[in-house]
């Protein structure tokens, strides 16, 4: 007997139907149109002999118009036995979307439970435990800190490394909770800054670094695409009211208050793309900027921001998707931090199709090294 479930941490999949002994249909549970309606993560539980299980995965029927499957797929589909330590790409050619669904086949061994997902999943509990492990075993080089507690009562854990009194650097991921390569990326940065590498040692001497891989733990655990537990998008943080005193989501307010109080010299924010249909060159990463540099009223901060933008364009794979930067709107934290607090940003998007735990870390660490190299010339 074979069955499917999405009832676990980071799970996403609904209206599950068994069409035949080894054929199933289900829908994704989307948040909003375009890129936030494609995330899926479900388990195939096989209590019988080996089988090739065919899955029809459909767009969310609660949205009347197409929800973005055409642009998200094809992409790498990641799978693993649930007890295995790593995901790997599903064999074969990744399917394109046809009339609102994709169809693919998953090999499942006897009495095996296999997890299938759109991303190399970075569960909150796993990342928090790994972060705690770094803090425990490297107490001479780093310490735990917390941004606060989520709507549902989860801690938002971070790792601090560096020298008190030096310029602060704040680095986060997971505003959009399904963008797991970014979470793995920023966990990789936490590993890097607390490591024994000479470059990390030098950064600890010159900066005070605060690294937070999962800023939206509730959304992560609930398997959301874009939202927190309240149904707010932490990237479009101010919604329809960019001039409001505070952003909408509880966790965005925590980020706002942290930055307003601590006044970092720079903040870094990692997000993700998925798929390659609209993209140009491998590895299909991207980056964002604010268009109006005069948002920074201080000439020194404006010049630092221009140098960070040069860094992103010239020294990272950010241009591999669109060649040019995407633009932050006035309702984003990046825009309002620039305008109200003068805090510049480095905003990078890792592709979920070409990065999992290792590649996410490698690309994020590379961006981090280049950005901090520039930063240290200006602070
Ligand atoms: Zn995002």
CATH of the domain at 60: 2.60.40.3120
In contact, 46 and 111? CB cutoff 8 Å: yes
What pLDDT is stored for residue 45 in this prediction?
98
User: How crowded is residue 291: how many other Cβ atoms within 10 Å of its Cβ?
Assistant: 10
Instruction: Please name the residue that has the structure tokens 């000479």.
Output: 198
Token pair of 190, please? Answer: 């936490």
Do 97 and 133 lie in one domain? The reply is no
Same domain (yes/no): 283, 365: yes
Clarify whether residues 108 and 167 are in a common domain. no
Q: Which of 72, 102, 117 is the last residue of a domain?
A: 117
What's the 86 CA to ligand 1 centre distance in angstroms?
Answer: 23
CA 111 to centroid of ligand 1, rounded, Å: 37
165 shares a domain with 147? yes
Contacts of 205 (CB under 8 A, 6+ apart): 162, 163, 166
Q: Tell me, in angstroms, the distance from the centre of ligand 1 to residue 180's CA.
A: 10
Q: Are 268 and 211 in contact (CB under 8 A)?
A: no
| Bridge partner list, 17 | 25
| Paired tokens of 181 | 């390569």
Residue ending a domain, choose from 117, 151, 176:
117
- For residue range 169-185, what is the model confidence (pLDDT) as tens digits? 999 999 999 999 999 99
Sheet harboring 41-46: ordered strands across? 2-5, 41-46, 113-117, 78-81, 88-89
Distance CA 137, CA 192 (A): 14
Ligand 1 mean position, distance from CA 307 (Å): 24
**216 and 87, same structural domain?**
no
Q: Are residues 8 and 98 in the same domain?
A: yes
CA dihedral 245, 248, 253, 256 (to 10 degrees): -60
133 and 215 share one domain: yes
pLDDT in tens, the chain (379 residues): 999 999 999 999 999 999 999 999 999 999 988 779 999 999 999 999 999 999 999 999 998 787 789 889 999 999 999 999 999 999 999 999 999 999 999 999 999 999 999 999 999 999 999 999 999 999 999 999 999 999 999 999 999 999 999 999 999 999 999 999 999 999 999 999 999 999 999 999 999 999 999 999 999 999 999 999 999 999 999 999 999 999 999 999 999 999 999 999 999 999 999 999 888 899 999 999 999 999 999 999 999 999 999 999 999 999 999 899 999 999 999 999 999 999 999 999 999 999 999 999 999 999 999 999 999 999 9
Q: How far is CA 14 from the centre of its chain?
A: 23
Other Cβ atoms within 10 Å of 364 Cβ, number: 29
Q: 3-class SS at 170?
A: strand
Helix (H) or strand (E) holding 121: none
Residue 223 Cα to ligand 1 midpoint, Å, equals: 14
35 CA to centre of ligand 1 in angstroms: 9
* pLDDT given for residue 241 in this prediction: 98
* Residue of 101, 93, 90, 97 whose CA lies nearest to 25: 101
Contact between residue 149 and residue 81 where contact means Cβ atoms under 8 Å apart: no
- What pLDDT score does 65 carry? 80
Q: How far is CA 239 from CA 104, 144, 220, 227, 332, in A?
A: 37, 31, 20, 12, 8
Distance CA 332, CA 40 (A): 26
Q: Both 113 and 138 in a single domain?
A: no
Peptide bond into 237 cis (omega under 30): no
User: In the listed set 89, 117, 145, which residue is the last one of a domain according to the structure?
Assistant: 117
Question: Do 120 and 351 contact (CB within 8 A), yes or no?
Answer: no
Sign of CA dihedral 365, 371, 376, 379: negative
**3-state SS assignment for residue 288:** strand
Kindly state whether residues 141 and 93 are assigned to the same domain. Answer: no
Q: Are residues 109 and 142 in the same domain?
A: no
349 CA distance to ligand 1 middle (Å): 8
Q: How many CA atoms lie within 13 A of 142 on its CB side?
A: 28
Range of the domain at 82: 2-117
d(CA 192, CA 185): 10
84 and 142 housed in the same domain: no
How far separated are the first and last CA of the chain, in Å rounded?
62
91 and 196 within one domain: no
CA 45 to chain centre: 28
Helix (H), strand (E) at residue 105: strand 101-108
Tokens of 52: 């090739």
CATH number, domain containing residue 154: 3.40.630.10
> What CA–CA distances, in Å, run from 225 to 222, 235, 372?
9, 12, 30
* Beta-sheet pairing, 23-27 with 51-58: parallel
Rounded to the nearest angstrom, the distance between the alpha carbon of 57 and the centre of ligand 1 is: 22
Cα-to-centroid distance, 228 and ligand 1 (Å): 13
**H-state helical runs in 225-351:** 250-262, 299-315, 333-336
23 C-alpha vs ligand 1 centroid, how far in Å? 32
Question: How many domains, in total, are found in the chain?
Answer: 2
């Amino acid at each position: 007997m074979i069955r499917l479930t999405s009832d676990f941490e980071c799970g996403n999949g609904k209206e599950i139907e068994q069409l035949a002994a080894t054929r199933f249909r289900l829908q994704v549970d989307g948040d909003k149109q375009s890129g936030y309606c494609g995330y899926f993560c479900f388990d195939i539980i096989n209590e019988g002999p080996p089988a090739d299980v065919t899955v029809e995965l459909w767009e969310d029927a609660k949205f009347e118009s197409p929800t973005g499957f055409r642009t998200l797929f094809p992409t790498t589909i990641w799978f693993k036995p649930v007890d295995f330590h790593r995901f790997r790409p599903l064999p074969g050619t990744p399917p394109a979307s046809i009339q609102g669904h994709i169809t693919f086949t998953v090999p499942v061994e006897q009495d095996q439970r296999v997890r299938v997902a759109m991303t190399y999943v970075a569960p909150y509990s796993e990342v928090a435990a790994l972060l705690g492990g770094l803090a425990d075993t490297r107490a001479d080089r780093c310490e735990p800190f917390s941004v606060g507690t989520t709507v549902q009562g989860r801690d938002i854990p971070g790792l601090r490394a560096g020298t008190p009194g030096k310029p602060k650097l704040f680095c986060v991921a997971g505003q959009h909770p399904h963008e797991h390569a970014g979470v793995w990326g920023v966990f990789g940065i936490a590993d890097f800054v607390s490591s024994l590498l000479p470059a990390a040692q030098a950064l600890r001497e010159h900066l005070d670094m605060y690294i937070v891989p999962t800023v939206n733990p509730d959304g992560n655990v609930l398997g959301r695409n874009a939202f927190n537990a309240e149904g707010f998008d932490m990237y479009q943080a101010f919604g329809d009211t960019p001039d409001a005193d505070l952003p909408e989501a509880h966790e965005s307010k925590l980020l706002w208050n942290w930055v307003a109080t601590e006044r970092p010299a720079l903040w870094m924010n990692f997000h993700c793309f998925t798929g390659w249909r609209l993209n140009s060159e491998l590895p299909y990463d991207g980056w964002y900027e604010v268009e109006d540099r005069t948002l920074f009223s201080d000439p020194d901060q404006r010049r630092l921001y221009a140098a960070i933008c040069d860094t992103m364009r010239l020294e990272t794979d950010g241009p591999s998707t669109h060649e040019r930067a995407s633009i932050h709107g006035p309702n984003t934290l990046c825009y309002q931090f620039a305008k109200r607090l003068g805090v510049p940003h480095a905003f990078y998007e890792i592709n979920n199709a070409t990065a999992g735990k290792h590649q996410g870390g490698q690309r994020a660490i590379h961006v981090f090294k280049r950005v901090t190299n520039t930063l240290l010339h200006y602070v």
